[in-house]
Amino acid sequence: MIKDTTREEREKIVAESIGNISGACDGCMAGLAEMYQDYIDGKKEIRDINMEFKARYESGIEAPEKRNCGYY
């Protein structure tokens, strides 16, 4: 939970969870890192970000268009 972590700890949690964010995948890892920026900044919990992402995916609510491996 945000209240139990520092910004540095949250950055580490995200980095360890999604792997090498500088990996060569046409920007997909950078897109994932951006998705979790609100968690790193202490604005939203990871579970809330994941639920919002899943809701957009399942409902078709307009979200950033995905091309290849990155978001535009």
CA angle 39, 14, 20 (to 5 degrees): 145
Q: What is the domain extent for residue 64?
A: 2-71
Per-residue pLDDT averaged across 17-41, rounded? 70
| pTM for this entry | 0.60
Average pLDDT, whole number, for the chain?
75
Count how many domains the chain has: 1
Count of positions (residues) in the chain:
72
Residue 4 contacts residue 45 (beta carbons within 8 Å): no
- The per-residue pLDDT for 72 is 46
Residue 49 contacts residue 36 (beta carbons within 8 Å): yes
